[in-house]
Amino acid sequence: MRTAEVAVRPVTAETWDDFVRLFEAKGSPHFCWCTPFRVTGSSDLTSAQKKQVARRFVEAATPIGVLAYAGSEAVGWCSIAPRESYVRLEKSRTMPRATPPATPTWAILCFFVVRARRGQGVTRALLDGAVRYARRQGACVVEAYPFDTAGVSSTHRGHSSVFAAAGFQPDGKRWFRELARRRSRSSPTDGG
């Protein structure tokens, strides 16, 4: 497997069109627009309605995930956002919150990589970029539920080996990675 040379960027108003092109391409997850855990009743919505839900999140500057780019083309996706923004996750018995409510916790729920770029390290690049993004946004913990350990049948959740290689630790069905907390400018340990 060769390592992907990709850039990872969050989905924002500026990258929305790239997100749309990726999700509307043949073989993409255009049927879900990564909404099942974000809104109740997602299964009752049409694809166009789910796209509008995703658009509203982006317009409100609510994080929904990151894109992997090969040059100027989006070739992959990782859903990462604050745990509380996934309304169904907050009520989940199979994926219960393991951190105190005051701990900024982000969750990774899915990956998608275009077929031509699979097996080239894009998923790992997405994971690393997603963790960096969450850290910059103030996350202290990132959690995930790989398909092979969480007991789910869909492989879009990622494999535990990818998470282990990125420094995640298993905790039952959940894998997590604690992120270094930012030091305040007046912290006596940083000389400042």
Write out pLDDT tens, residues 135-163: 999 999 999 988 766 555 555 778 888 98
CATH code of the domain containing 66: 3.40.630.30
Q: Tell me what the mean pLDDT of segment 60-68 comes to.
A: 97
Instruction: Quote the tokens at residue 168.
Output: 């995640």
Does some domain include residue 57? yes
Strand, coil or helix: what is 26? Answer: coil
How large is the average pLDDT for residues 82-111? Answer: 89
Can you give the three-state secondary structure of 72-102, one letter per residue?
A: CEEEEEEEEEEHHHCHHHHCCCCCCCCCCCC
Is 50 a domain residue?
Answer: yes
Q: Which residue has the tokens 């202290």?
A: 140
Q: Is residue 22 part of a domain?
A: yes
Section 43-71 average pLDDT: 95
Residue 57: exposed, middle, or buried by beta-carbon count in 10 A (0-12, 13-18, 19+)? buried
Rounded to whole angstroms, how far apart are CA atoms 8 and 45? 29
Please check whether residue 101 is in contact with residue 43, taking contact to mean a CB–CB distance below 8 angstroms.
Answer: no
| Interacting residues of 181 by C-beta distance below 8 A, sequence separation 6+ | 140
| Structural domain includes residue 15 | yes
Give CA separation, 117 vs 7, 69, 113, 114, in Å: 14, 11, 7, 6
Instruction: Return the number of other C-beta atoms located less than 10 Å from residue 88's C-beta.
Output: 15
Beta bridge partners of 110: 79
Cα(74)–Cα(92) distance, rounded to whole angstroms? 31
In a domain, 1, yes or no: no
> CB of 29 within 8 A of CB of 88?
no
Residue 138 in any domain: the answer is yes
Q: What is the span of the domain harbouring residue 49?
A: 7-182
Residue 191 domain-assigned (yes or no): no
Residue 188 lies in a domain: no
In contact, 95 and 89? CB cutoff 8 Å: yes
Confidence of residue 181 (pLDDT cuts 50, 70, 90): low
Most confident of 11-15, 115-119, 168-172: 11-15
The answer on pLDDT for 16 being more than 60 is: yes
Q: How many domains does the chain have?
A: 1
